Structure 1
């Protein structure tokens, strides 16, 4: 009996500083029956040369002009021939047992997603990643998974969490190319609402890179607007399925997190988000910060505290007890 084929899809844009490490982790997988669809999304660095440095026959390389992560992922999906789909970022790392463990966990099911453990690292060393257990690190009915994920202080809806049966994507469709920031949220909600269960795979680990200069720049107002559109769409799907007071508050909290991020850079968008939160019945999500920030927030409100935080940073006060 032939073994299932997994299609790994990786959009690459100026990924040269990290791509070799990502490639090593994929090409050393204990489950060998995969194809790796790498889509060079108009890179201007050595991305192409690094990909060509490997002669592994499982790599399928494509190049297009820069259209963004969603469009590149959709292009990769159009070329995928596997029974299962794995989206994988070009700057992350997966453990050697990742694919094998997720495939085993699904055990042939086409009505479920396999999830994975993940840890964040900042110093360029995946071994320093801390895997902090989440409330969703167990087998859960899909809507329960969503409720638990959104109830956490920070939910992780990255598409790289999932091993996805191809039939699920054929049912839900690919990525919305009009979205950029927060695009994983809308995409993952569609996936989750199309399956019965999420199966947590403890032995599949993803090492999530944070703190890159290229990834940590302040998003533009246009990007923030796309993030709110993604939230609009994802929450609309959720509330169509579950219009309970709990789900309304979870959606309000999701908007509140974005309000904390966009204030005070996009006043019109801020007003729009505040209205959405009000219509949902209000949020109970507080803004994260250090003890001094929390004290100032309790006295003056989080907006004044954030204004003071920014004012001090603009004047060179970097080491603040705000964060």
Structure 2
């Protein structure tokens, strides 16, 4: 472990058709108060003007690479191979780091060292506006491994995303690379492995990461094919596998149930064969039905009529709402 001043941070940015955002993203890295950084930009076969805009930025800190389009996970894995840093900051091509983000996390790193993973406060980037997200206070704590997964799997709609973390290279080495078959949940699956290989999570107050929401054609918004849902389920099956490898059997069983239930409830009623596969896995864990993963109203309804009936009711309600919206257009 190096001290906070001498530690080199490798910032890995996979880029695909990000001409509208990549300049701001890179400048948020160059403007870090912690100056000992390398910015590994991996152009994943972009077809727009991303490359031109990246090359126009003059800085020796930028290490530019262009590869064939194989997706962000493959690009991140390529970036890991190039990285020389003591710690790694993964950053998506449209997100923003607060100028003091790395410095604040390195202060905690100097205290706790290479076997912890470091989190930050979540914010949102919209146009030229940067705001702190409300309702993320539940993550503004240090966590043991078990308590973190209990927290994230017991709530709905609020998750720490890729760029909020700062990861010591020692933990990267203990965790094989990003899984290209994890699809929409590739970051959740990867960081689950990192966390399970760590001694816990250290929260860094005043370290802020800004996630850009509502980006057109964002991977996180694509629910347009069975392949997407298959990869999504695959990621939660891996959660269960990792839990059973690293945690005590009772904890692993409950967390696996809740992870698989997240897929079941969130993907219902799409692709009944995948839902049936998920249901069987839940049954094999010893549970008769999924955990009620949804908002407070869905949870309350499930307590009264059961999870399966609540899902049917919610689906009918959502279908009616979509039909009405079409009629009113």
Task: Please state which band the TM-score falls in when normalised by the shorter chain.
Answer: 0.7 to 0.9
Alignment equivalent of 2:310, drawn from 295, 301, 315: 301
Q: CA deviation at 1:68?
A: 0.5
Distance 2:269 2:7 in 1: 50
Residue in structure 1 matched with residue 21 of structure 2 by the alignment: 18
Alignment equivalent of 1:115, drawn from 113, 119, 124: 119
Residue in structure 2 matched with residue 8 of structure 1 by the alignment: 11
CA 101–167 in structure 1, closer or farther in 2 if over 3 Å, else same: same
Cα deviation digits, residues 17-67 of structure 1 (max 9, x gap): 221221221111101110000001011111111111210110011111110
1:213 alignment partner, SS class: coil
Alignment equivalent of 2:73, drawn from 70, 74, 83: 70
Given that 1:157 and 1:188 are in contact with CA atoms closer than 8 Å, whether structure 2 keeps it comes out as no
1:16 alignment partner, SS class: coil
1:168 and 2:164 aligned: no
Alignment equivalent of 2:229, drawn from 220, 224, 232: 224
Q: Which runs of 4+ in 1 moved over 4 A?
A: 243-247, 297-300
Count, aligned residues: 316
Q: CA deviation at 1:306?
A: 1.0
Distance 1:147 1:57 in 2: 43
Given that 1:119 and 1:132 are in contact with CA atoms closer than 8 Å, whether structure 2 keeps it comes out as no
2:137 alignment partner, SS class: coil
Residue in structure 2 matched with residue 147 of structure 1 by the alignment: 150
Q: CA deviation at 1:245?
A: 4.3
1:44 and 2:47 aligned: yes
Alignment equivalent of 2:322, drawn from 280, 305, 313: 313
Given that 1:9 and 1:85 are in contact with CA atoms closer than 8 Å, whether structure 2 keeps it comes out as yes
Residue in structure 1 matched with residue 56 of structure 2 by the alignment: 53
Distance 1:46 1:290 in 2: 45
Given that 1:135 and 1:149 are in contact with CA atoms closer than 8 Å, whether structure 2 keeps it comes out as no
* TM-score, structure 1 as length reference: 0.88
Alignment equivalent of 2:290, drawn from 283, 301, 305: 283
Distance 1:96 1:237 in 2: 35
Distance 1:133 1:160 in 2: 15
Tell me how large the CA RMSD over aligned residues is: 2.7
* Residue ranges of structure 2 left out of the alignment (5+ in a row): none
1:135 alignment partner, SS class: helix
* TM-score, structure 2 as length reference: 0.86
Cα deviation digits, residues 278-322 of structure 1 (max 9, x gap): 33324332433879x969x96963224314423541564489xxx
* Residue ranges of structure 1 left out of the alignment (5+ in a row): none
